[in-house]
Amino acid sequence: MNEGFLLTSHSERNPLLVALRDAGVKIEYCDDFRQAVTRLKGCIGYYGDLFHEMKYPLASLVLSRALRRTRVPYVFWNRDAPWNVGMKRHRRAYLRLLKPVDIYLTHSRQNANWFSPNPAIHFPNAARGAYCIRELPLRLRDASAYRHDVCFIGAIGNPKRRNCLERASFLQSLRERLADRPSLRFKIVDTLAESLTADQQIELIQASKINLNYGAMCDLPGNPSWGLPERVFGIPAAGGFLLTDWRESVPDTFPDGHLDNFRDATDCAGKIRHYLNRFGELRDRAEALHAQVLTHHTYANRAVQLINLLHTYAHRPSD
């Protein structure tokens, strides 16, 4: 895509923008989304921060009208459904009225009709480049090379966040169900208390036979997100074996069944026992999922998908 530019109010460190730049897309940035209305000439799309913009209803209306008038598509990627950054009720009502998004990308189709008059596009999270290890070390096939049997990395220690409390409760229940295996080496890293670099996370992932994912900060009580958190892609990209909690989008995102999942702590404990007793099967699954993620679920893949969507939008029939 050599003609025109993508305009955005996101940070230049946004991983999708990094991948788009690497793919040759020209990106222009505006510090304040209200500047966008004067910079639409030659623009192939506006990649906005909708949740921030909805705090300014008049300015967001002006932007929406300018984009529609100039036929520049508003692109929004929602990675926080159904929590939607805790939007207040009056802002949700305004969003449903305005429906400003033309290309609505989302990791979960929950409440998709709030955002756009057009169908939602399933656009899962992806593995960041730093986690994409192309050549896996041979030691990952050596069961004796691991320091940990089970590992969890994630936010746990905020008692004011229900999601953190649920994770802590799940991990405690899981350990109780594995109490008959006192030699099991269980590693838990609370990222609210201990910040890890990407290299440190990769080292820990590769040092753990089983890496767990449980919960997402965008879950609502009784209404968990259908989407998969970024760690579901980063762990296998780094060569780790992953067990994740069930999400509605699992079969759509990984249709070949390489990603195993669990429904509750009892189910998880059973699968931990299964795979620790079958190390060869564990690594076969890990390597198959690693290949699938690097082939289909990197930010470079997402960038290509968005470029194609922008091309299709630009060549759609006139209204």
Query: Of 207, 264, 231, which Cα lies nearest the Cα of 153?
Result: 231
pLDDT at 34: 96
Print pLDDT tens along the chain (319 aa).
557 999 999 999 999 999 999 999 999 999 999 999 999 999 999 999 999 999 999 999 999 999 999 999 999 999 999 999 999 999 999 999 999 999 999 999 999 999 999 999 999 999 999 999 999 999 999 999 999 999 999 999 998 889 999 999 999 999 999 999 999 999 999 999 999 999 999 999 999 999 999 999 999 988 999 999 999 999 999 999 999 999 999 999 999 889 999 999 999 999 999 999 999 999 999 999 999 999 999 999 999 999 999 999 998 887 6
Of 30, 83, 88, the C-alpha closest to 57 is: 88
Query: What six digits make up the tokens of 179?
Result: 């109490």
Query: Any idea what the Cα angle at residue 135 is, between residues 133 and 138, rounded to 5°?
Result: 115
Distances (CA, A) of 313 to 44, 103, 143, 286, 317: 9, 8, 50, 37, 9
Give residue 316's pLDDT.
Answer: 85
Cα 102 to Cα 96: distance, rounded to the nearest angstrom: 13
Which of 142, 152, 146, 48 minimizes the C-alpha distance to 101?
48
Q: Which two tokens stand for residue 80?
A: 């926080």
Answer positive or negative: Cα dihedral of 131, 76, 164, 214: negative
Per-residue pLDDT, 2: 53
Is residue 243 within a helix (H) or strand (E), and if so which, with residue range? strand 242-245
For residue 293, what are the CA distances in angstroms to 188, 208, 236? 24, 19, 7
- Taking the C-alpha atoms of residue 75 and residue 270, their distance in angstroms, rounded to an integer, is 43
- What the block records as the tokens of 300 is 């470079």
Residue 3: how many other CB atoms lie within 10 Å: 8
**Residue partners of 19: CB distance under 8 A and separation at least 6:** 129, 298, 299, 300, 302, 303
- Contact 27/311 with Cβ under 8 angstroms? no
Domains of the chain: 5-126+299-314 (3.40.50), 129-296 (3.40.50.2000)
Q: Secondary structure of 246-288 in the HEC alphabet? A: CCCCHHHHCCCCCCEEECCHHHHHHHHHHHHCCHHHHHHHHHH
